[in-house]
């Protein structure tokens, strides 16, 4: 995998960690909305658990194999979002919000891997 793509994956992972740190801090500050932030933290923890493979990323990973891993994560994320939408409790709203936030960035990262995969196959 090229260094630009590797930096993009690392940035994605760091973004999720930073969002988790922010939500944790806000839960401590905003006691009135603490449950909402707890839902966000729960959603971000789910993403971090699901993306564990990305953290231990091998430099020899090809764009096509990375695309496959990201596609699997996105599929699981879409399923989890559909579950959250059905539950729609207050805690689920914070979790759904976090998952939607990550989903947008994950979609962009998948597009970048598709572009890199197309370049390397030409």
pLDDT tens for each residue of 98-122: 888 899 899 999 998 888 888 876 6
pLDDT digits (tens, 9 = 90+) for 74-89: 999 999 888 877 777 6
pLDDT at 96 over 90: no
Confidence of residue 51 (pLDDT cuts 50, 70, 90): confident
Q: Which residue has the higher pLDDT, 61 or 113?
A: 113
CA dist., res. 48 & res. 57, Å (int): 14
pLDDT at 48 over 80: yes
Helix ranges, 1-122 (H): 3-29, 34-50, 52-55, 63-87, 90-121
Size of the chain in residues: 122
Sign of CA dihedral 17, 23, 24, 29: positive
CA dist., res. 10 & res. 1, Å (int): 12
Of 83, 77, 65, 87, the residue nearest 107 (C-alpha):
77
Sequence-distant (6+) residues with CB within 8 A of 103 are: 74, 77, 78, 81
Calculate the average pLDDT of the chain. Answer: 84
CA 85 to chain centre: 18
In angstroms, the first-to-last Cα distance of the chain is: 15
pLDDT at 58 over 80: no
pLDDT at 22 over 80: yes
Percentage of the residues of the chain whose pLDDT score is greater than 70: 89
pLDDT at 2 over 60: yes
């Amino acid at each position: 995998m090229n260094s630009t793509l590797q930096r993009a994956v690392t940035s994605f992972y760091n973004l999720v960690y930073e969002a988790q740190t922010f939500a944790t801090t806000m839960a401590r500050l905003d006691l009135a909305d603490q449950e909402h932030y707890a839902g966000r933290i729960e959603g971000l923890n789910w993403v971090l658990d699901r993306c564990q493979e990305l953290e231990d990323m091998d430099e020899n990973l090809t764009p096509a194999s990375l695309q496959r891993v990201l596609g699997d994560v996105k599929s699981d994320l879409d399923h989890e979002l559909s579950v959250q939408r059905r539950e729609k409790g207050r805690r689920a709203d914070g979790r759904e919000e976090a998952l939607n936030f990550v989903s947008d960035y994950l979609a962009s990262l998948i597009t970048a891997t598709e572009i890199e995969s197309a370049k390397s196959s030409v």
